Amino acid sequence: MSARIHLTVAAVIHRAGEYLMVTEIVDGVRVLNQPAGHIEPGESALEAVCREALEETGWQVRPVACLGLACYVAPDGGTYHRYNLLCAPVAERSDRLDPDIESRLWLPAAAILDTSYRHRSPMVRGAVADHRAGLGFPLSLLRDYRQG
């Protein structure tokens, strides 16, 4: 990909001391990531994070807080702006995963923060660290003017 700007979301899904993560193959390498992806035209960040979580993990989630906004410039020059949204797992709805996802797994923070895993980007580790540090902003921070 060329130097493009990407508007994305990530679902930081926490339950009983563990985080729901996905593995995917990127450029022939297995990487760890939160359920994440691009916001589609006409979609809010909250709608996108729920859709991405369901597509990539089979879990229905409920956003509960905004952990923050992150920016990362990838080696290919693409700039990623990412909404990190803390989500509560509601129900497992499907075991079918997006074809780009290799697996889903619940991991403790120590395993995610450990350097033995290769992460999709530094934003993966950062989102977990932010949650563990107690960061969190109300969802009212995100305004939606589509409804008039």
Residues 94-135: tens digit of each pLDDT: 888 899 999 999 999 999 988 778 999 999 999 999 999 999
In the chain, domain spans: 5-138
Determine the average pLDDT of the residues in 27-31: 92
Q: How many CB atoms lie within 10 A of CB 144?
A: 9
3-state secondary structure 93-142: CCCCCCCCEEEEEEEEHHHHHCCCCCECCHHHHHHHHHHHCCCCECHHHC
pLDDT value for 114: 84
What's the topology of domain 5-138? Answer: Nucleoside Triphosphate Pyrophosphohydrolase (3.90.79)
